[in-house]
Amino acid sequence: MGVPKSHWQDASCVGQTPDSLVFKINQPLLIACKGHGTRQRCRTDKFGFPIAHANRAKFFQGFRTGDIVKAFVPRGKFAGNYIGRIAIRHRPSFVLQPSNGRKKFDVHPKYLQAIHRADGYEYQFS
């Protein structure tokens, strides 16, 4: 059938197939389950006594943990354009994990633009 011998393309030839296959993309979409957060409302110390209470709100300034965002950081050590997943805090300083493999850093929500709202999964091309 003329299909390249990569695992994900070779798997499309199993069973009854048409005479020709056309792949619109040349790389698979990798999907990883990240969940929807935690229900734990109270953090405890090593003895089980409460030390911190989590905020009840799931959203903060229109964002939620797991959103894929585009960040335009104008100045500072991490100046530049980024795309990645955020983890919110209930203060105007979110953690951005860039998709290009760079290390995490804090970013203000005024520099963020939502691309994909959190659905419990993380998507990337291999």
Q: pLDDT tens for residues 51-83?
A: 888 776 778 888 888 889 999 999 999 999 999
Q: Report the alpha-carbon distance of residue 56 to residue 61 in Å, rounded.
A: 14
Q: Report the alpha-carbon distance of residue 22 to residue 42 in Å, rounded.
A: 53
Q: Report the alpha-carbon distance of residue 64 to residue 107 in Å, rounded.
A: 14
Give me the residue spans of the domains in the chain. 30-125
Handedness of CA 27, 104, 65, 40 (dihedral sign): positive
What pLDDT score was predicted for residue 28? Answer: 83
More confident residue, 13 or 31: 31
CATH code: domain 30-125 is 2.30.30
Q: Report the alpha-carbon distance of residue 32 to residue 30 in Å, rounded.
A: 7
Query: Whole-prediction pTM value?
Result: 0.68
**pLDDT tens digit string along 96-115?**
988 877 899 999 999 999 99
